[in-house]
Structure 1
Amino acid sequence: MSEQVVGQDRTVVVSGASTGLGRACARHLDHLGFRVFAGVRRPADAEALQAGSSPRLRPIMLDVTHEESVAQAATLVAAHVGDRGLWGLVNNAGICVSAPLECVTPAQLRHQLETNLIGHHAVIQAFLPLSRTAHGRIVNVSSGLGRVASPYLGAYAASQFAKEGYSDALRRELRPQGVTVSVVQPGAIRTPIWEKVSEVGHGTLDGAPEEIAELYRDSFLRFLENNDRRARASATRPEGFAVAVAHAMTARRPKTRYRVGRDSRVTSVLARVLPDEILDAAFAAVVGGLPAARATSPES
């Protein structure tokens, strides 16, 4: 990927930079010469991030689910960039609720959407005037699950499907104003989020009524094991994600979508060419024992 716009004297905000993909992205952009405001939620994360970075990288407290936190971060960045405006905004913060949808509480689904969609909307609204001033770039981080919804990741997929549609509309609305919008879709990458996925999944299943949890337990536990195995075996690394974001920030004509990792690219193709029945059968074969596969009609 050619990097044609230098980072020097350009400022970028990255949300969700405490660990994993966000941290790799913030450090890579710092390495390229950008001034990076890296959103974290704990002082300890800020110290760890700053320890391995140049003085150009500045951690800031940013919780995308709290409007006051978003407003304070935008005010701080505005005071720094002044009339130059904000060159880049990377909306990376996110969580993953993994559980059978029948077990996901409305509060959990609300939190999933508040973090992965509505929180990003709040951040975009707060920083957009600065981006418009710089004719800058917005990068929304989705995933391969923004195109194909896996069983037991329905809540997460709902937020990613929504983010894809949101990004398409935003890109078309902002194009006349000189602000570009790109989506980065990483596939399975081994990051700390996978431990959280398993922890939340077990907790959600344990909190459901036993007669409902029992319907899903075996296949859901197999799903968690397969997911963890797939992430461990993935050849895709956070650095690959960071390079894709950097291209969106530096190329003269950034792509509308960047698919990072073989699984993300394959998923995109399968979503376009395979009928739902084949995709359903493929997921059933991978997970096994889904309740729908065991269901029988009254006539049978």
Structure 2
Amino acid sequence: MSKGTRRISPTGRTVVVTGASSGLGREAALHLARIGFRVFAGVRAPADGERLLAESSGDRLYPLRIDVTRSDQIRQAVDEVTGRLGDTGLWGLVNNAGVAQPGPLECLPTAALRRQLETNVIGQVETIQGFLPLLRAGRGRIVNVTSGLGRVALPYLGAYAAAQFAKEAISDSLRRELRPSGVTVSVVQPGAIRTPIWEKLDQAGEEVIDGAPESTVALYRGPFRAFLRDNARQVLRSRTTPARYARTVARALTASRPKTRYPVGPDVRFASLAARLLPDTLIDRNLAARVRPREG
């Protein structure tokens, strides 16, 4: 095995995973505990923590109450982890928590845009700030979870893409700022993976359509609903699994030399390549069918 592919043992190391109540975060928390990490799994409700405990094997998983949009819960979570770890430091922080708010930007309520950015950007930064002293003490690593939409912004997912672009930029700045301290920063970019977030996406999209003025919605209703249907079909066809995502997070936490970015799925690799090589006008033409007026 080459030096670049050697792995660091998870045994005796502690990580925090936010957004572990369901979906990708839940899969990552359970997988990391199975392979030997001590995992503080961030949940928003006690019942979510109880379900995680029932699904986990061994005694390496601990539910951690944390809503990343609430400063008081972030502080309490940091205090709890600090109290349990003492002087040993924290090996990893996986910033997985997030929401996806679809909708034509002209129709999107300001409150929905704020919620998108508060959860996926501001809350993530505040969580990192809270845990950084522990990470510095453990010379650990930060894993920020974005998506393929952190490289190419699709129509009707502008708010979500804005948050992912921001998180990519923050990760780059943070990686460079923290280099002298020995704390590394990696980005994991999952593509289309079948999780409950897609059902929530459809529901959130319909709420945007129902709440906007009819004169405006009439311009978007057909193509937007078709866009949601196309997304659902893409997810159903995807062969990328939550387990593959969880294994990728584990690689970012155990690689002797962690990469700056870990794409998960062929759609993300294609989006990254397109963003680097194709002119904006060509990408726009390829996406034109998604915004063409139609009945719906």
- TM interval, shorter chain, is over 0.9
1:29 maps to which residue? 32
Superposition RMSD in Å: 1.2
Measure, in 2, the Cα distance between the counterparts of 1:15 and 1:143. 16
2:280 maps to which residue? 276
List gaps (5 residues or longer) in structure 1. 292-300
Alpha carbons 2:17, 2:96 under 8 Å: kept: yes
Supply the AA of the counterpart residue of 1:51: A
Alpha carbons 1:146, 1:164 under 8 Å: kept: yes
Superposed counterparts of 1:131-142, under 5 Å? 131-142=135-146
2:226 maps to which residue? 222
Measure, in 1, the Cα distance between the counterparts of 2:136 and 2:179. 10
Q: Tell me the TM-score normalised to structure 1 length.
A: 0.95
SS of the aligned residue for 2:107 comes to coil
- Structure 1 residue 43 displacement after superposition: 1.5
2:45 maps to which residue? 42
1:195 maps to which residue? 199
Supply the AA of the counterpart residue of 1:277: T
Measure, in 2, the Cα distance between the counterparts of 1:141 and 1:177. 22
Matched, 1:66 2:70: yes
2:88 maps to which residue? 84
1:239 maps to which residue? 243
1:171 maps to which residue? 175
Q: Percent identity?
A: 58
Matched, 1:251 2:217: no
**One of 11, 24, 33 as aligned partner of 1:8:** 11
Alpha carbons 2:155, 2:291 under 8 Å: kept: no
Superposed counterparts of 1:137-156, under 5 Å? 137-156=141-160
Report Cα offsets for 1:236-294 as digits up to 9, x if no partner.
00111111110111011000000000000010001111111111111113x14159xxx
Runs of 4+ in structure 1 displaced over 6 angstroms? none
1:75 maps to which residue? 79
Measure, in 2, the Cα distance between the counterparts of 1:259 and 1:275. 22
1:209 maps to which residue? 213
Measure, in 1, the Cα distance between the counterparts of 2:6 and 2:24. 20
Supply the AA of the counterpart residue of 2:10: G
Measure, in 1, the Cα distance between the counterparts of 2:239 and 2:5. 22
SS of the aligned residue for 2:82 comes to helix
Superposed counterparts of 1:279-290, under 5 Å? 279-285=283-289, 287-289=290-292
Supply the AA of the counterpart residue of 1:18: S
Alpha carbons 1:103, 1:212 under 8 Å: kept: yes
SS of the aligned residue for 2:19 comes to coil
Alpha carbons 1:284, 1:290 under 8 Å: kept: no
Measure, in 1, the Cα distance between the counterparts of 2:293 and 2:5. 45
Superposed counterparts of 1:96-115, under 5 Å? 96-115=100-119
| Corresponding residue pairs, total | 290
Measure, in 1, the Cα distance between the counterparts of 2:281 and 2:157. 18
Measure, in 2, the Cα distance between the counterparts of 1:290 and 1:30. 48
Measure, in 1, the Cα distance between the counterparts of 2:226 and 2:30. 35
Report Cα offsets for 1:86-129 as digits up to 9, x if no partner.
00000000000000000111111111000000000110000000
